[in-house]
Amino acid sequence: MIRAQHYIYNKSDIEICLIGSSMMARLNPEEINNKSMNLSMIGQSSQTGLEILKRNPQKPELLIVEINETIQRGIDQEFISELYNNFQYFLRLYFPAFREEYKPISTLVSYLKRLKNGGNEDKDTEVLNPEIREKIFEQIIQKKNSSLSEEIKEKLTKEAKYIKHQIQVLQNQGVKIFLVDMPQDKEIQQTISQQQTRNLLKNILYPDQFDWIPEPISLNLKTTDGIHLDDSSAKAYTHFLKEQVL
């Protein structure tokens, strides 16, 4: 909520915006330039971030959108309603003290997170115990090494088509858009469901119509849990993105 409100009320000169889930949230936008912002949010999907951009009168020049299985979550209508509730919206617009980042408890929590994570509120720098990581990794592999159900295929198809519409609205407003499948552990990326998901999404968001960021084949990226990049890999991948879009 803090990140979304900060964008809505404070950021009118953003050139580059990153949209996605907790996977994309690991990236530090300042590694790209000082007019970049990461609007990715933990527990959310790209649709929610895209809806915020659609509603905001000021648009970034360039947008990087995470496209993968996390789009199954769909748009968080409750979150959007809370952000744009007419009374609260104007109250927060004219009286910043009512924004989450200025509430005493939110300020304290943010401070403690930054203190723990070396200044970055949203980045989880904790490295899992090797034994715990291995167990989590095995569970993920087992779960993803089976074919997608028809229900999940329908959900992915529906959400991908919705994202396609959101993207086209922003493109018509002059926003340059890149799509990215955030890198995960190679073994996970090669599982049956991951490959099926990737193919399904690219059959809707055609690579010949949309600009997809290529896989970072030359980078030796590592994750904390098989899915989320660790600190050094997140930094390396952010620089890779910068090279691709600028």
CATH code, domain with 200:
3.40.50.1110
Q: Which residues of 182-196 are buried (b: 16+ CB within 10 A; e: fewer)?
A: bbbbeebbebebbeb
Q: What is the pLDDT of residue 113?
A: 47
Q: What is the pLDDT of residue 13?
A: 81
CA 82 from chain centre, in angstroms, equals: 20
DSSP helix/strand/coil, 18 = strand
pLDDT tens string, the chain, 246 residues long: the values are 556 656 665 656 889 999 999 999 999 999 999 999 999 988 999 999 999 999 888 899 999 999 999 999 999 998 888 877 755 555 555 445 544 554 544 444 444 444 444 444 444 445 567 788 788 888 899 999 999 999 999 999 999 999 999 999 999 999 999 999 999 999 999 999 999 999 999 999 999 999 999 999 999 999 988 999 999 999 999 999 999 999
Residues in the chain, overall count: 246
Q: What is the pLDDT of residue 189?
A: 94
Domains: count for the chain: 1
Q: What is the pLDDT of residue 6?
A: 61
Q: What is the pLDDT of residue 132?
A: 81
Domain coverage including residue 241: 2-245
**Residue 71 CB coordination number (10 Å):** 24
Q: What is the pLDDT of residue 203?
A: 96
Q: What is the pLDDT of residue 48?
A: 95
Q: What is the pLDDT of residue 19?
A: 97
Q: What is the pLDDT of residue 2?
A: 56
DSSP helix/strand/coil, 154 = helix
Closest CA to 163 of 180, 147, 149: 180
Which DSSP state fits 210? Answer: S
